Amino acid sequence: MPLTHFDEEGRSRMVDVTEKSETVREAIAEGFIEMAPETLQLLVDGKMAKGRNVFEVARVAAVMAVKQTHNLIPMCHPLQITGVDVYFTTDKEKSKVDIQVKVKMAGKTGVEMEALTGVSIAALTLYDMCKAVDKNMVMGDIKVMKKTGGKSGTYIREQ
């Protein structure tokens, strides 16, 4: 399948979705941020110096990022997002926070980039809010887990 963000001469372009059918689109992306066990405990206990509920700051940042993806990724279309859910799950055994962002809308193009951007910014926000006590945090494994809608149909990542 050819790359659609380039024309026949190799010039970059925004894909024309004018003639595409509008369908309900949903994407779920996930990632994580690892940290020292002491940092995770401070985060869970609401004892970070920058605020008691760091998770809510990161949740709002993720929602804002989803809505601004077209301003950050050059070939993304501005979208009328109709729903964003952000979930954090702490894993004390692995000393990390798992992040999941689910994005939904009805439109002519998918929302995978928006979900991935939401996860990335949530992780970066957690880093920012916790870096005073732990500069060794690691973010990673950011990926699309599921996507529905559109001509290509449903995609579910195999674990």
CB 70 within 8 A of CB 14: no
Secondary structure in 3-state letters for 26-51:
EEEEEEEEECCHHHHHHHHHCCECCE
How far is Cα 65 from Cα 144, in angstroms, rounded to an integer? 16
| Catalytic one of 7, 91, 98, 128 | 128
How far is Cα 139 from Cα 28, in angstroms, rounded to an integer? 18
Helix, strand, or coil here: 82? Answer: coil
What DSSP character marks residue 18? T
CB 137 within 8 A of CB 130: yes
- 128 catalytically annotated: yes
Annotated catalytic residues are 128
